[in-house]
A and B are shown apart, each in its own frame.
Chain A
């Protein structure tokens, strides 16, 4: 399967998983697929047997009477029972976990997510823990969510466009809404998906694994691609993981990307091939993305946010640096 999905560490079945609740979703997905094969394979064998054994041929006659198929009844009952198990035993508990019991408000990080064509706006309360009010009359390109900036509570708020910073190992509580059309918040590596609907505010929550800081994940996703198989489309979001050398000359420095578009990318790959580079060692520029899963207009496919996960201390530092109020104080 790895062959089909390009030889990448990104995964050949479900994508890599970095949240604590995602495991139960993956388990359900796996169990269902095992179940499918358990049904389908005997079914297919029986099907093939019938086709072969009961083909029309001289001397063979069909029988008028139906077979007494007790087995099929048992099979049908078994299917129904197993479906009931999937529903009651697996899906409902996971969904209840996903939907009920939000983390306590003093232990979680609150983020407002305001989506619009075609960007994700992340609104953090800042050090004071209070969200500033918003007003749609104030919406502009530089103030995408219409934050009332002269309000006291808004002074230290942080608003980021298509850039999301999260602490690891801390419950994150997001309130999703949309300003224009329906979007869908999809964070595949956390197994989180939820529509963002205008006129509604829908909460979701999850926790990023303790070890899953961006800096820790990126090297894990390192992959090597033989130059002969390198195709720009598949590696356009990757950068060189090491200095690539041909006879001591660095042809592709660590961290260099592979061209901004197809033309540039192909030129670069050609150059590297000519220089005799055998293979590329790559890692994703940014391994974690939030994308939009609901058709929202002509640039729907471009609507994505880069996610940076930090340790709790790093995150606090980021909040402090990004908050305007904090900045003002340090300026004095």
Chain B
């Protein structure tokens, strides 16, 4: 049997003799796939942001033609350059879908996870390289499907990223494209998550026990379990909605519907609109942690490196992440307090919601206590990572009044909700992603990004992103509802219009603030300062590989001797002890 342990089960040769398309397009190397994910997702991030900037024009100047691009948009979206109601709703639905499923998750998991995780555990690649390639291309097809839906008759899905039936079942065929796109994206995530879990559990190098794993790996592991177990119910829900739309079933259609004064007698009826909401939020609440956990992982790595000090309470971090993952499966109905829920059920979901805030508080506490007694280097990745902390805290705290039913009565479906989850995801996760890009850029390219341009990117971004989202809390307090094509149509929306404009200006300025990043990204790729394997003097295993790592990653398979964050160990000549370096007794 041992005779078969030769290179035959390797997955082919990836040396320089491979043709371009095998090396860079249909590659099975986790690093190339990681970069593919990152590039594609950054493009989607930009696209989703553009949709939002157009929407913000309509909000700030309702009914006025969109400058510059209005005349190029199709009549389904903008008539005479003015965004129409369906166009606005389609942009809103697609902004949410693209940002969550095509930008942030693929960046945090597909991009960073794919590139960094195998390096951090000392593995030569992912456990199933071909499956890895498949998950990227399935994701890619899902993205193409979503984008293509803008160009079909009736335009893209316009029933919100939540796609509540019956609205979504009555909607135009863009919704069908959305569902097919989601089925592809879910499939991609499932393939990816299987790969991540197997890789993490089975392929850690010698000496790298679970409690020596960098927190980033833990975060990815918990995230993968969430994807693995929470996504299938949405896939089931998607299949059911497809059946309702294409096969005339009534899973989500109750009896006695009248649509546009036409009784829907031809439908069987007997379905339940709330069934969709349960299945959807059973995924979509864990999805929140799929968005935030990789960000926490990235931030932890950067904070440990740049405080030159072990993370405070590493084990609490790990247990909190696991607990968070577990709890996220039993809080979903707090999105549904206004659906006529009685006191028993709402008490349960309020209680679990309050409980789930505790591990988040612990994680944040651990990260901030890590700063005490540190020697903080304020480089660009650290600035983004530090900015993550207070903004994520704001996002978390503002979840409180939404998680309690009584205060949710007033705040449900208002801009307060928008402000809350954007603080978690935009100034939260996206800032962490920027931190990660600046931090690992030298590993991927062998060159460092410009610190000056980085700071020129950070400070305006920090200012303007708060200008975008801070007003939303006040708008929400005033009762301004989300998903309003023209907010001034309602009395309490009209009086809050000043804040709406402020948000819009913030968004456009935020876009300008991204220019230094784009310049920096491409400039540094070709002309950045060349650096060695470990420019940040960090301890984790990815820095033991050359920059950029070759196919197969490590020149020699490393062995791990200590925990992940051994910085400033007393009595050592250097202020960091890499995991792969044996320490003298």
Distance A62 CA – B492 CA, assembled complex (angstroms): 52
Taken residue by residue from 220 to 244, chain B's Cβ proximity to chain A (1 for < 8 Å, 0 otherwise) reads as 0000000000000000000000000
Whole-angstrom distance from the CB of B512 to the nearest CB of chain A? 23
Which among A26, A32, A198 has the greatest number of chain B C-beta atoms within 10 A? A198
Taken residue by residue from 148 to 175, chain B's Cβ proximity to chain A (1 for < 8 Å, 0 otherwise) reads as 0000000000111000111100100000
- The answer to whether B257 touches A198, judged by C-beta atoms less than 8 angstroms apart, is yes
| A262 is an interface residue with CB less than 8 A from chain B | yes
| A46 is an interface residue with CB less than 8 A from chain B | yes
Q: Residues of A within 8 Å of B, CB-based: how many?
A: 111
- Known interface pairs A83-B354, A99-B342, A184-B338; A62-B374 also in contact (CB < 8 Å): yes
Distance A292 CA – B389 CA, assembled complex (angstroms): 35
| B393 is an interface residue with CB less than 8 A from chain A | yes
For window 248-297 of A, CB contacts with B under 8 Å fall at 261-262, 284, 286-287, 289, 291-297
Q: Which residues of B contact A194 (CB under 8 A)?
A: 338, 340
Q: Which residues of A contact B342 (CB under 8 A)?
A: 99
- The answer to whether A79 touches B568, judged by C-beta atoms less than 8 angstroms apart, is no
Q: Which residues of B contact A192 (CB under 8 A)?
A: 409
Which among A136, A286, A289 has the greatest number of chain B C-beta atoms within 10 A? A136
Distance A293 CA – B488 CA, assembled complex (angstroms): 15
Taken residue by residue from 392 to 407, chain B's Cβ proximity to chain A (1 for < 8 Å, 0 otherwise) reads as 0110011011001111
- The answer to whether B258 touches A139, judged by C-beta atoms less than 8 angstroms apart, is yes
- The answer to whether A98 touches B409, judged by C-beta atoms less than 8 angstroms apart, is yes
- The answer to whether A295 touches B159, judged by C-beta atoms less than 8 angstroms apart, is yes
For window 464-511 of B, CB contacts with A under 8 Å fall at 471, 474, 477-479, 481, 483-492, 494-499, 502
Q: Which residues of B contact A80 (CB under 8 A)?
A: 358
| From A3, A5, A11, A297, contact of B167 by CB (8 A) | A297
- Known interface pairs A4-B498, A6-B498, A91-B405; A56-B371 also in contact (CB < 8 Å): no
| B80 is an interface residue with CB less than 8 A from chain A | no
- The answer to whether A193 touches B412, judged by C-beta atoms less than 8 angstroms apart, is yes
Whole-angstrom distance from the CB of A283 to the nearest CB of chain B? 11
Whole-angstrom distance from the CB of B100 to the nearest CB of chain A? 17
| From A76, A231, A301, contact of B361 by CB (8 A) | A76
| From A39, A262, A293, contact of B413 by CB (8 A) | A293
| B66 is an interface residue with CB less than 8 A from chain A | no
| B532 is an interface residue with CB less than 8 A from chain A | no
Whole-angstrom distance from the CB of B583 to the nearest CB of chain A? 13
Surface stretch bound by A, among B9-17, B83-91, B112-120, B429-437: B83-91
For window 512-562 of B, CB contacts with A under 8 Å fall at none
| From B89, B271, B494, B570, contact of A234 by CB (8 A) | B494
Q: Which residues of A contact B340 (CB under 8 A)?
A: 194-195, 197, 200, 202
Q: Which residues of A contact B398 (CB under 8 A)?
A: 36
| A213 is an interface residue with CB less than 8 A from chain B | no
For window 355-383 of B, CB contacts with A under 8 Å fall at 357-358, 361-362, 365, 368-378
- Known interface pairs A5-B496, A6-B498, A287-B491; A75-B365 also in contact (CB < 8 Å): yes
- The answer to whether B567 touches A62, judged by C-beta atoms less than 8 angstroms apart, is yes
| B95 is an interface residue with CB less than 8 A from chain A | no
Taken residue by residue from 280 to 318, chain B's Cβ proximity to chain A (1 for < 8 Å, 0 otherwise) reads as 000000000000000000000000000111101100000
| A13 is an interface residue with CB less than 8 A from chain B | yes
Whole-angstrom distance from the CB of B225 to the nearest CB of chain A? 25
- Known interface pairs A6-B498, A180-B259; A47-B406 also in contact (CB < 8 Å): no
Q: Which residues of B contact A46 (CB under 8 A)?
A: 368
Chain B: interface size category: 35 or more
- The answer to whether B410 touches A193, judged by C-beta atoms less than 8 angstroms apart, is yes
| A105 is an interface residue with CB less than 8 A from chain B | no
| B2 is an interface residue with CB less than 8 A from chain A | no
When C-beta atoms are compared, the residue in chain B nearest to A292 turns out to be B481
Taken residue by residue from 217 to 240, chain A's Cβ proximity to chain B (1 for < 8 Å, 0 otherwise) reads as 000000000000001011111000
- Known interface pairs A62-B307, A67-B312, A72-B369; A180-B404 also in contact (CB < 8 Å): no
For window 177-224 of A, CB contacts with B under 8 Å fall at 179-182, 184, 186, 188, 191-195, 197-200, 202
| A137 is an interface residue with CB less than 8 A from chain B | yes
- The answer to whether B404 touches A87, judged by C-beta atoms less than 8 angstroms apart, is yes
Q: Which residues of A contact B310 (CB under 8 A)?
A: 64, 66
Q: Which residues of B contact A3 (CB under 8 A)?
A: 498
| A127 is an interface residue with CB less than 8 A from chain B | no
- The answer to whether B89 touches A295, judged by C-beta atoms less than 8 angstroms apart, is yes
When C-beta atoms are compared, the residue in chain B nearest to A71 turns out to be B369
Distance A262 CA – B569 CA, assembled complex (angstroms): 68
Whole-angstrom distance from the CB of A83 to the nearest CB of chain B? 5
| B461 is an interface residue with CB less than 8 A from chain A | no
| A95 is an interface residue with CB less than 8 A from chain B | yes
Whole-angstrom distance from the CB of B278 to the nearest CB of chain A? 13
- The answer to whether B405 touches A95, judged by C-beta atoms less than 8 angstroms apart, is yes
| B249 is an interface residue with CB less than 8 A from chain A | no
| A322 is an interface residue with CB less than 8 A from chain B | no
- The answer to whether B256 touches A199, judged by C-beta atoms less than 8 angstroms apart, is yes
Surface stretch bound by A, among B21-29, B33-41, B343-351: B343-351
- The answer to whether B412 touches A262, judged by C-beta atoms less than 8 angstroms apart, is no
Whole-angstrom distance from the CB of B187 to the nearest CB of chain A? 27
Q: Which residues of B contact A10 (CB under 8 A)?
A: 478, 491-492, 495
- The answer to whether B377 touches A47, judged by C-beta atoms less than 8 angstroms apart, is no
Whole-angstrom distance from the CB of B29 to the nearest CB of chain A? 36
| A25 is an interface residue with CB less than 8 A from chain B | yes
- The answer to whether A25 touches B170, judged by C-beta atoms less than 8 angstroms apart, is no
Q: Which residues of A contact B64 (CB under 8 A)?
A: 262
- The answer to whether A300 touches B256, judged by C-beta atoms less than 8 angstroms apart, is no
- The answer to whether A47 touches B368, judged by C-beta atoms less than 8 angstroms apart, is yes
| From A24, A50, A66, A234, contact of B313 by CB (8 A) | A66
Taken residue by residue from 20 to 41, chain A's Cβ proximity to chain B (1 for < 8 Å, 0 otherwise) reads as 0000111011001101100110
When C-beta atoms are compared, the residue in chain A nearest to B377 turns out to be A56
For window 29-85 of B, CB contacts with A under 8 Å fall at 62-64, 84-85
| From A29, A179, A293, contact of B407 by CB (8 A) | A29
| From B158, B167, B400, B487, contact of A83 by CB (8 A) | B400
Distance A184 CA – B498 CA, assembled complex (angstroms): 26
Q: Which residues of B contact A13 (CB under 8 A)?
A: 474, 477-478
- Known interface pairs A25-B410, A40-B397; A64-B261 also in contact (CB < 8 Å): no
- The answer to whether A199 touches B273, judged by C-beta atoms less than 8 angstroms apart, is yes
When C-beta atoms are compared, the residue in chain B nearest to A83 turns out to be B354
| B390 is an interface residue with CB less than 8 A from chain A | yes
Distance A157 CA – B84 CA, assembled complex (angstroms): 38
Distance A79 CA – B496 CA, assembled complex (angstroms): 33
Q: Which residues of A contact B445 (CB under 8 A)?
A: none
- The answer to whether B358 touches A66, judged by C-beta atoms less than 8 angstroms apart, is no
Whole-angstrom distance from the CB of B390 to the nearest CB of chain A? 6
Distance A272 CA – B547 CA, assembled complex (angstroms): 69
- The answer to whether A8 touches B495, judged by C-beta atoms less than 8 angstroms apart, is yes
| From A35, A75, A96, A198, contact of B166 by CB (8 A) | A198
| A330 is an interface residue with CB less than 8 A from chain B | no
| B254 is an interface residue with CB less than 8 A from chain A | yes
- The answer to whether B350 touches A262, judged by C-beta atoms less than 8 angstroms apart, is no
Distance A3 CA – B376 CA, assembled complex (angstroms): 39
- Known interface pairs A5-B495, A182-B273; A198-B167 also in contact (CB < 8 Å): no
- The answer to whether A301 touches B487, judged by C-beta atoms less than 8 angstroms apart, is yes
When C-beta atoms are compared, the residue in chain A nearest to B337 turns out to be A95
- The answer to whether A11 touches B339, judged by C-beta atoms less than 8 angstroms apart, is no
Which among B159, B372, B390 has the greatest number of chain A C-beta atoms within 10 A? B372
Q: Which residues of B contact A63 (CB under 8 A)?
A: 309, 373, 568
Nearest 7 interchain pairs by C-beta: A199-B254, A298-B85, A94-B406, A188-B479, A91-B404, A50-B371, A62-B375
A-B contact pairs, 11 of them (CB 8 A): A13-B478, A43-B390, A47-B371, A54-B371, A66-B310, A67-B372, A141-B261, A180-B166, A198-B166, A295-B483, A300-B85
Q: Apart from A6-B496, A96-B343, what 5 extra A-B contacts exist at CB < 8 Å?
A: A3-B498, A12-B478, A51-B386, A188-B492, A301-B486
